[in-house]
A and B are shown apart, each in its own frame.
Chain A
């Protein structure tokens, strides 16, 4: 009985370890995907001319931002 308990704990620890390792792997994949997607989005945004819109807005006083509507 005692051996079964110890074996179960060992198995559970291994699964927890494997679960944590899988979580690490998932996090790494997510990070890589987000970095690649982020770079791609920036390129798409530049291509769409969004930088021009942002610059045009930013170099004039944003009346909405300062509460003048």
Chain B
């Protein structure tokens, strides 16, 4: 082996090791942010011990992520729950929640999903379980992604309105029949600590546990399956993602087309084409894995010769 060849191999190995280190560092950083966010949004630890929910005034603020307000630790309100609560009254629609989502969505887009959502964290952790992973065919995947918009319109917006009488009293359809975060973060901890609530559990609780189990199992085999196909909050933020202040982009001049970004994407995107779209959760895994630093993120203008759409 010539000296030049040996030097090149050493340089490549060193670059590869540095690269792996950068990936691991990014993974640890992101996990830390996710854990801190989960602790921040569910900071009322006494609630878990006593089996009671927080009743402070901060609950009139909507947190920007899917975090059930029935969770004993929740310090704020879930925007989806809040939207349904107001939709089920004579008001029929919540401008307050809409405004909150517009502000967060415009500034951060789906960075909220990638870094701050506690239920996203749970899915990410479950996906780390070493099992064979399912690859959903692209055509089916594309169609299924529209399901979350149907969930948003039918269950979140229309359901409470349709089930309400003239004086209100509408049911929060998404929370009642689907939301796995409510079951996991609220239902199970509360029922474990309250005998009265346990006695009241019936078919609906079993149904919700079934939905929760399906979503959690799904997350083991398909990364972020709930975020991709069912989350109504993800659907809302996806609408803002294209023009949100925080963006990710591919520098086409630097990109060598190695394809290392696609397999690591938790949303199974064609990173070079779809990174600026509504489905990217801005987790940054593709940027961490890119060997030539062609993927950038942050709050900056896209230069004219970059990322031609």
Q: Which residues of A contact B (CB under 8 A)?
A: 16-17, 20-21, 23-24, 26-27, 30-31, 34-35, 37-46, 48-55, 57-69
Q: Knowing A62-B186, A65-B69, A66-B182 are in contact, say whether A45-B60 is a contact too (CB < 8 A).
A: no
Q: Knowing A34-B106, A35-B103 are in contact, say whether A24-B69 is a contact too (CB < 8 A).
A: no
Which residues from 81 to 120 on chain B have a C-beta closer than 8 Å to any C-beta of chain A?
81-82, 85-86, 89, 91, 94-103, 105-107
Q: Contacting B85 at CB < 8 Å: which of A21, A44, A57, A67?
A: A57
The CA of A23 and the CA of B58, in the complex, are separated in Å by 39
Q: Knowing A17-B304, A38-B102, A58-B59 are in contact, say whether A65-B95 is a contact too (CB < 8 A).
A: no
Q: Knowing A45-B94, A54-B60, A54-B86 are in contact, say whether A66-B99 is a contact too (CB < 8 A).
A: no
Please name the 3 residue pairs, one residue from A and one from B, whose CB atoms are nearest each other, closest first.
A45-B96, A41-B99, A38-B102
Which residues of B lie under 8 Å from residue A51 when comparing CB positions? 60, 96
Majority secondary structure of chain B interface residues (helix, strand, loop or mixed)? helix
User: Does B305 interact with chain A (Cβ within 8 Å)?
Assistant: yes
Which residues of A lie under 8 Å from residue B245 when comparing CB positions? 31
The CA of A46 and the CA of B61, in the complex, are separated in Å by 11
Q: Contacting B204 at CB < 8 Å: which of A55, A60, A69?
A: A69
Determine if A58 and B82 form an interchain contact, defined as CB atoms under 8 angstroms apart: yes
Q: Knowing A23-B309, A65-B186 are in contact, say whether A34-B105 is a contact too (CB < 8 A).
A: yes
Determine if B106 and A35 form an interchain contact, defined as CB atoms under 8 angstroms apart: yes
User: Does B244 interact with chain A (Cβ within 8 Å)?
Assistant: yes
22 A-B residue contacts at CB 8 Å?
A20-B308, A27-B242, A30-B243, A34-B240, A38-B98, A38-B101, A40-B99, A42-B103, A43-B99, A50-B95, A58-B59, A64-B175, A65-B176, A65-B179, A66-B190, A67-B187, A67-B209, A68-B187, A68-B202, A68-B205, A69-B176, A69-B204
Write the nearest CB–CB distance from A13 to chain B, whole angstroms.
8
Determine if B96 and A31 form an interchain contact, defined as CB atoms under 8 angstroms apart: no
The CA of A55 and the CA of B77, in the complex, are separated in Å by 8
User: Does B55 interact with chain A (Cβ within 8 Å)?
Assistant: yes
The CA of A56 and the CA of B202, in the complex, are separated in Å by 25
Determine if A66 and B82 form an interchain contact, defined as CB atoms under 8 angstroms apart: no
Other A-B contacts than A44-B95, A45-B94, 18 sampled, CB-CB below 8 A, are A20-B308, A27-B243, A34-B106, A38-B98, A41-B98, A42-B96, A48-B96, A50-B94, A52-B60, A53-B85, A53-B86, A55-B59, A61-B70, A65-B81, A65-B186, A66-B182, A67-B207, A67-B209
Q: Contacting A48 at CB < 8 Å: which of B68, B95, B183, B197?
A: B95
User: Does B53 interact with chain A (Cβ within 8 Å)?
Assistant: yes
Q: Mark B178-202, 1 if CB is under 8 A from A, else 0.
A: 0100110011001100000100111
Which residues of B lie under 8 Å from residue A44 when comparing CB positions? 95-96, 99
Which residues of A lie under 8 Å from residue B279 when comparing CB positions? none
User: Does B172 interact with chain A (Cβ within 8 Å)?
Assistant: yes
Which residues of B lie under 8 Å from residue A55 when comparing CB positions? 57, 59-60, 77
Which residues of A lie under 8 Å from residue B68 when comparing CB positions? 62, 65
Q: Knowing A67-B204, A67-B209 are in contact, say whether A53-B91 is a contact too (CB < 8 A).
A: yes
Which residues from 233 to 252 on chain B have a C-beta closer than 8 Å to any C-beta of chain A?
240, 242-245
Write the nearest CB–CB distance from A31 to chain B, whole angstroms.
5
The CA of A48 and the CA of B95, in the complex, are separated in Å by 9
Interface centre among A26, A39, A64, A69, by most B CB within 10 Å?
A64
The CA of A36 and the CA of B147, in the complex, are separated in Å by 30
